[in-house]
Structure 1
Amino acid sequence: MLELNRIRNNRESVVKALEKRRFADAQNLIASIIQLDDDRKTTQGKNDEVLSEANSLSKEIGALMKSGQKDEANKIKDKSAALKAESKDLSEKLSTIEEELKQLLYKIPNTPNSDVPDGATPDDNAVVYEHGISPKLGAGAVPHWELIKKYDIIDFELGNKVTGAGFPFYKGKGARLQRAMVNFFLDEAVKMGYVEVQPPIMINEDSGYGTGQLPDKDGQMYHITQENYFLIPTAEVPITNMYRDVIVDPRQLPIKHVGFTPCFRREAGSWGAHVRGLNRLHQFDKVEIVQVQHPDNSYDALKDMCAYVQGLLEKLGLQYRVLNLCGGDLGFTAAQTFDMEVYSAAQEKWLEVSSVSNFETYQANRLKLRFKDENKKTQLCHTLNGSALALPRILAAILENNQTEEGIKIPEVLVPYTGFDMIN
């Protein structure tokens, strides 16, 4: 969440930045936050005065009792008791104000970086780079949802029978290709200095609030109500929460992790003809890269992470483009996001396969993820994450773009992992 001091000291610039992301009622919400903070300070000050007076009276009572002035001490005790009761009321009021303030701060999204384009919808995202050319498919080319039936490698009907829509079975060479991509992505990340972790796929409520999925994405996560756990929407959440309430040694920075997990998203109301097959699932596999960075270096790290993801797409032989997301399309917690999209020649459309984001201090402030600078002053870290990569749409593009009359050709870099070079 945004730092309270920043909101107070830079009120107009914060409001202007929130308006860039088309955040409704920014002015009034910021005003409410500042008013609540004023109330908090006033209540805290009054409570401090009452406690100070109560402490002074306690010392006076002790001195009177020692000197044998019991009646005088008893008179002061009544006043002391009244002050303690007043302090209790003030403490309860303070707790209520602080909780209200925290809940309001949770409603405020991150402020966009100055390089984020202005715009309201995905149509306003800026294409900053394109690579490759569209493959020329034969006359009989079909989309992946027909290919997977033809070669019996993914079964949506069986998944629907066992679980429900959006939970497919991967079979035979389809399953082996999935595993090959996971291992390839993990190996490439480890080569780039990312430390592999295998995190839990369920998180508690504190972790959800720590990285900003709660309360913003509450309705999009699967919730296990009995234990109050949530199935993760991405490995970013448990990996970043490894450092919740941690003061890291600045010599450790940057901290770089990679993790593979299944991901779960309800994606309520998102189904339709434009999201057929692998284009959108309730459960899917993803390899995620996460960095904890010094604030001075986070935007260089963002560029490096984008370049790394682009390198993976080039090794897979996929045509792709890079988008700088506009303010209106920016995720709730991100200060800047670059999306990578691959071109599906059979569907004749671009498919998002990676988002790489810098959250600046937004997550770190929630997480209390800090370091001490050279002056021993505590500072907030910057956090970043990126898909490297999300598998379903990568798989869709590989199947569609590499289809031939003989079968589907496997990208050369994956052959050592699959043990075969064709699906036929």
Structure 2
Amino acid sequence: MGVDRSELPAEFRFIALTLGFGAGTRHGHGGPGDFDFGGIDEAKLKGLLARHRVHVVFCAALKRMGLWERLSPKLRVELDTTARRLQLRQLALLAEFLRISKALRQEEVDFIALKGPVLSQLLYGDPTQRHCNDLDMLVRSSDIPDAIRVLSSIGFKQQDLLGIASQPLKDPIWTRLYHVHLTKDGMGVELHWRLSRNDVLINTPIEQLFASKQRVAVSGEEVSTLGEGHLIGYLAMHGASHCWNRLKWLLDVKLIREAGSGRSVAHAASSSFCAVGRGAELQSRASVTSLRPPELRSEDRRPPSRVVELVRSLLKSLEWSLGTTRGGSDRKASRAEKSPFLASSLCLQQLLAEDEYSGTFSNMVRRSWVLLTLHGGFGEKLRHISTLLVWPPAYEKVKLPRSLSFLYLVIGPVFWGREQLRLLVHRRRNK
């Protein structure tokens, strides 16, 4: 069931248990309080906290658990200094988010905030607790040009040199993408018009997402984010598409899953690993706490069921590897049951990988295999293989223009040709 517990680095195990993974563990039975604090490699610990983007919540957890003073004075100072720097960064990101939100509302551009300060508010009751590097916003495809215009008016510059956003919406290249990227002073914003480039993972119609959105109060401003059911599906899809590369993403899903009846997610976070919470916005629902797929229309039922099953399997694999649950034999498991287990094992290996960059060969292999297991049927698997060639890491490493990528040279013309053939057949049938 996953990685043997003896193979887990002590520092990773310490972080995971402190964050509440393996909730059955108690002090005196392998919990974070039973660690030999003097034997922890401080450099590795700091590296893993940065690698998995959980520095601030880890420090808050240790303090609330009464374990902070057991760290060396030097390490406490270093961790506190880094935590303050990260939270100042999150405050700057929050200020920019509120500025963008106000500008979009003034121009009547409807949007949904994805992750970022809003998700931090939902999980911890504090928009600065969860680490994020950029802002993600979902808008209707027809509103993309207006959204870009608004962002440009407040200093953001579009990184899409080919002007994708100005292309007709029926353009075959446009339909294979899912966001445009803008930056200002090192701060990035991604404007999405759907949740994933790969609609096999999640393909909920955007109008359904807007119809079920929820309002969240962030620093005195009310903004929209995904409704509870779609939020869990989106987070599961996002984590799976990155082979669950960071512990932060798994923690997001875990906290929502553990929000008990009548409790907020922020309360669940405080109970799970004693993180600081100042109230909450998101009330738990049965569809969220049990990690069921969100309510979808019949044509949308394929995705997050497989993706959510991967989350369940990964959490079980991690808990077994931490030594907090018993791992049963999987010899009698059906083929369908083994697939999520295999994928979760690969995801667990990726969690433990020192290099998180998605362009490394081993990461790409694991990520590709995980996504293949989530695709049902040969046709969908073949389609996924073709998408692997869309943004090859080589283009980023050697700074080649994206216009040379497989997307523009092959996929775009192929989809254009298919669309023309479909229209030709349609016209002939209607003669």
**Structure number having the greater helix percentage:** 2
TM-score computed with the length of structure 1 as normaliser: 0.29
